[in-house]
Amino acid sequence: MALSEQELVRRNSLNELRKLGINPYPAEGYVVNVTASEIKEKFLADNTLFQEVSIAGRIMSRRIMGAASFVELKDSTSRIQLYFKRDDVCPKEDKTLYNTVFKRLLDMGDFIGVTGYVFTTKMGEISIHVTSFRLLSKALRPLPVVKEKDDKTFDAFTDPEMRFRQRYVDLIVNDPVKEIFIKRTKIINSMRSFLNDHGYLEVETPILQAIPGGASARPFVTHHNSLDIPMYLRVANELYLKRLIVGGFEGVYEFAKDFRNEGMDRTHNPEFTQMEIYVAYKDYNWMMSFTESMLEKIALDVHAKTDVVFEKNTISFKAPFNRVPILQAIKDHTGIDLNGKSAEECLEAAKSLGIEVDESMGKGKLIDEIFGEKCEHHYIQPTFITDYPVEMSPLCKRHRENPELTERFELMVNGKELANAYTELNDPIDQLERFEEQVRLAEKGDDEAMWIDTDFIRSLEYGMPPTSGMGIGIDRLVMFMTNNSSIQEVLFFPQMKPEPKKFIPKPEDFITIGVPQEWANYVIAAGFSSTKELKEQKASKVHQILNGYRKKNKLDIPALKIEEVEAWF
């Protein structure tokens, strides 16, 4: 790709700087004694402060008025205005540093370090009067220019494709984006300290697994060369964490990157983060209280209040949350009581509600469909939906009062699942049967391979204490806490299809096949991006095109002879 005019200008500036003895990429660090936000916070109260500051950052805009200029400098905390005055920056005769280096060779996007003193301009803006400056790093690509006035943004950099592919540009130019990720880390830190305060141990378990268990999702497959076996990226870490409970830990948790080889959309990324926790001697009732107090704390840590605005709704994370058994939820929203009903009766109920069904659906599946279709979206405020049918929950203990149900809850927020928890199944014989049942179901459907993790069964055979486990989607939680409805907004680098590789033709390639030095660049400019492409044409045609190009652009080089061109083939 040919460089744009602006890129060429900047590369020229780079050379000119070097000629002036200025290294555009100096090795040494730059000592800073203040940040932009510190100045803005404290200077108003006491304007004797900050009379010898040293600060570094990126130039975000420039307003040049002859011998004086204003620059907007952005450091990691904020933006602050700089005031450059020629005779202060260049006190002696030689004004090169201002006239040439600052005005002509620096650009928006460059990093500089400046020293000076803070003052307030006539317009009332806190600024730094610069006494000296140094180039710290030259930018060769122009940034998108985003301007603001009265909280209105002009020419915002909004193209999602570019924002996600070039997140660094997004972060430079769109200040609120940074806030999302600062909050993300706050949320994770808050959760981690809550878990640690309870004395639970943060652990790490394998991401690369021979058997991808713990959830029925399609895995990514890779290959181990020396073992010569397929390996899988984990879809969940549940089975490993439970092994650790077997091993004698009381409570273990992991912030896990999981990978699922399924569709991508506004709420699904192939890799995503879940926190899973398992605690011995607890049941799902305890886990509900634990989960709600954890979320309440996170909301307080992040927003200093329990009310969080998400889209059109205000969501209250104040504990306790409502608890509704799934059959009660269906009764509430459809008037149909499925308690104790047969599979046929459930099928009829689903049909009467206009839900698409097929005869192979079991009772559990039907209940899940009805809930998903008719109830789920009603639960805007955090609500624990409990006691799911046993078919849907192969790793969950049967309900102590009703063996068709399980001791499971899903936490619904804004009509979406945020967390999922069980009283864990620790009966190894029941567990094996449930796995086998899953395999049987999967074979019927035949679209997903299923694995039985026999080592996990073996671990249960040694005995696992009664345990409750919970998984919570961190990306979704961050979406709620930052009011973003797209998962891509809360991941630094959401998965995108690879950019098509732009082929960059090199003049040397053409020289190799015999194109004269002075012609090499023009051959590319004339439209031949590879030697192969050139050779696909007839020599006479190439001859014609190139001499046509020479004539059109009035090139000051001799025309090519047909024999010369033929020699390239």
Q: Is 362 in the site for RNA (CB under 7 A)?
A: no
Shortest Cβ 155–RNA spacing (Å):
4
Of residues 19, 223, 497, 554, which one binds RNA by CB under 7 A? 497
Binding window for RNA (CB under 7 A); candidates: 25-33, 114-122, 334-342, 379-387: 114-122
- Binding to RNA in span 449-478, by CB under 7 A: 450
State in angstroms the smallest separation of the CB of 377 from RNA. Answer: 10
Among 176-184, 209-217, 297-305, 310-318, the segment contacting RNA (CB under 7 A): 209-217
Q: How far apart are CA 541 and CA 199, in angstroms?
A: 78
Sign for the pseudo-dihedral over CA of 548, 552, 553, 554 = positive
Among 11, 18, 178, 268, binds RNA (CB under 7 A): 268
- Contact set for RNA, span 380-409 (CB under 7 A): 392-395
State which H helix or E strand residue 565 sits in.
helix 562-566
Coil, helix or strand for 313?
strand
Query: Under a CB-based contact definition with an 8 Å cutoff, are residues 102 and 69 in contact?
Result: yes
Calpha distance 214→237 (Å, rounded): 7
Query: Which of 204, 262, 307, 461 touches RNA by CB under 7 A?
Result: 262
| Closer CB to RNA, 105 or 302, in the complex | 105
**Which of 77, 486 has the CB closer to RNA?**
486
Query: To the nearest whole angstrom, how small is the minimum distance from the Cβ of residue 63 to RNA?
Result: 4
Residue whose C-alpha is closest to residue 2's, from 500, 501, 502, 499? 502
188-196, 201-209, 260-268, 531-539 -> range binding RNA (CB under 7 A): 260-268
Q: Which helix (H) or strand (E) holds 73?
A: strand 68-74
97 part of the interface to RNA, by CB under 7 A: no
Q: Which contacts (CB < 8 Å, 24+ apart) does range 541-544 have?
A: 542/568
| Pairing status of strand 251-259 against strand 229-233 | unpaired
Q: How far is the CB of 15 from RNA (least distance, A)?
A: 14
Burial class (CB in 10 A: 0-12, 13-18, 19+), 82: buried
CB nearer RNA, residue 179 or residue 262: 262
Nearer to RNA, 30 or 70 (CB): 70
Q: How far is Cα of residue 282 from the mean position of the Cα atoms in its chain?
A: 34
Least distance CB 481 / RNA (angstroms): 19
222-232: burial string, b at 16+ Cβ within 10 Å, e else: eeeeeeeeebb
Residues 504-533 that bind RNA (CB under 7 A): 529
Residue 260 interacts with RNA (CB under 7 A)?
yes
Q: Which of residues 115-174 bind RNA (CB under 7 A)?
A: 119, 121-125, 127, 129, 142, 144-149, 154-162, 164
Is 37 or 486 the residue whose CB approaches RNA more closely?
486
Q: Is 486 in the site for RNA (CB under 7 A)?
A: yes
Q: Which is nearer to RNA, 138 or 297 (CB)?
A: 138
User: Is the distance from CB of 201 to CB of 251 less than 8 angstroms?
Assistant: yes
Q: What is the dihedral of CA 184, 187, 193, 197, to 10 degrees?
A: -160
For RNA, how many residues bind (rule: CB under 7 A)? 72
Residues between 293 and 352 that touch RNA (CB under 7 A): none
234 close to 222: Cβ distance less than 8 angstroms: no
User: Rounded to an integer, what distance in angstroms lies between the CA atom of residue 317 and that of residue 449?
Assistant: 39
Helix (H), strand (E) at residue 153: strand 152-154
Residue 334: CB minimum distance to RNA, A: 17
Q: Which of 40, 42, 86, 186 binds RNA (CB under 7 A)?
A: 86
Select 41 or 265, whichever has its Cβ closest to RNA. 265
CB of 29 to RNA, least distance (A): 27
Residue nearer to RNA on the CB measure, 159 or 179? 159
C-alpha to C-alpha distance for 49 and 44, rounded to whole angstroms: 9
Binding residues among 25-84 for RNA as defined by CB under 7 A:
61-68, 70, 81, 83
Under the criterion CB under 7 A, does residue 496 sit at the interface with RNA? yes
Q: Got the DSSP string for 404-464?
A: TBBSEEEEEETTEEEEEEEEBP--HHHHHHHHHHHHHHHHHH-SS-----HHHHHHHHT--
DSSP string across 105-120: I--TT-EEEEEEEEEE
Q: How far is CA 166 from CA 158, 163, 170, 172, in A?
A: 12, 5, 7, 10
Q: Report in angstroms how near the CB of residue 399 gets to RNA at its nearest.
A: 16
Q: Interaction with RNA in 364-383: which residues (CB under 7 A)?
A: 365, 368
In the bound state with RNA, the residue whose beta carbon lies nearer, of 93 and 154, is 154
Query: Shortest Cβ distance from residue 529 to RNA (Å)?
Result: 5
